Amino acid sequence: MAEPQVTCSRDGDMAVVTLARAAKLNSLTPAMLDELEAIARSIEADTELRVVVLTGAGDKAFCVGADINEWAALQPLDMWRRWVRRGHQVFDQWARLRQPVVAAINGHAFGGGLELAITADIRIAADNAQFALPEASIGTCPGWSGSQRLVKLVGPSHAKYLALSGQRVSAQGALASGLVHEVVPAAGVIERATILAREMAGKAPVSLQLTKQLINAAAGEDAAVTLEAIAGALAATTEDGAEGVRSFREKRAPKYLGR
């Protein structure tokens, strides 16, 4: 079997997910999208995991985006079905994880790599990292929410600068725009992200996860799901909720008390 291109290790209640294609600057392939999806599904289902660190292997790049050799030969419909649409589905899954995600951006984050980084809730960048959306220079467009999620994060002006100019932005520039939250020496980026993740893991996990959902809803992501999930959970804890279940099992009319 081929070696996985995305790895997931567990340290107690923290998962560390690593893009493990350092020789190719962790550029993304269809197989990596599949692996990211499977890992996200596993994390979502794991009630013991409280926080996730997402990073890249090596000391040059977090992820330089999609591997051009993987999509350049695709026909338009395959480009839509197997690449753009697929990537959106996977990245949305990461953005909607219950657990907080800290991105340790250990190097350059270009194109799809930048788009993956912004699915995380908190981003810690190495001081030598650079950020860019170079798609227009190779005749394409941001395809995995660089024109959507990024706008909500840094505003249309900064998003236009990145996407229209293709210029590389330094870690300090990314910090100033709100693209990242902290910049640390490159040798310490994983350590800092892990320390922060550990601090969050020590807080009440349900409160943390609900707060994440509420903030996402305020930003326009999954508002309906959040409202229905919280309302359903609240209703289930009431006396009427318990009575509804009992009456169903006992095959009788319920007696609701409004509490």
Q: Pick the catalytic residue: 37, 48, 70, 115?
A: 115
Q: Pick the catalytic residue: 70, 135, 182, 243?
A: 135
Q: Out of 63-72, 93-102, 200-209, 220-229, which region has the weakest mean confidence (pLDDT)?
A: 220-229
Other CB atoms closer than 10 Å to residue 126's CB: what's the count?
24
Q: Express each pLDDT in 111-162 by its tens digit.
A: 999 999 999 999 999 999 999 998 888 777 777 888 888 999 999 999 999 9
- Mean pLDDT throughout 70-99? 78
pLDDT, residue 78, reads: 65
What are the residues whose beta carbons fall under 8 Å from the beta carbon of 124, sequence distance 6 or more?
Answer: 102, 103, 104, 105, 180, 181, 182, 183, 184, 189, 192, 193, 196
pLDDT(254) > 70: yes
Q: What is the mean pLDDT of the chain?
A: 89
Q: Express each pLDDT in 210-245 by its tens digit.
A: 999 989 888 877 777 777 777 777 777 888 778 778
Q: pTM to 2 decimals?
A: 0.89
Active site residue 135: yes
Q: Express each pLDDT in 132-145 by its tens digit.
A: 998 888 777 777 88
pLDDT, residue 76, reads: 65
pLDDT, residue 242, reads: 84
- Mean pLDDT throughout 171-186? 97
Q: What is the DSSP string of 216-240?
A: HHHTTSSHHHHHHHHHHHHHHTSHH
Under CATH, what is the fold of the domain 6-201? 2-enoyl-CoA Hydratase; Chain A, domain 1 (3.90.226)
Active site residue 115: yes
pLDDT(180) > 80: yes
Q: How confident is the model at residue 53 (pLDDT cuts 50, 70, 90)?
A: very high
Q: Quote the tokens at residue 182.
A: 């902290």
pLDDT(77) > 70: no
Delimit the domains of the chain by residue range: 6-201, 205-250
CA atoms within 13 A on the CB side of 71: 28
Q: How confident is the model at residue 71 (pLDDT cuts 50, 70, 90)?
A: low
For helices 223-236 and 239-250, the axis angle rounded to 10 degrees is 70
pLDDT, residue 23, reads: 94
pLDDT, residue 82, reads: 66
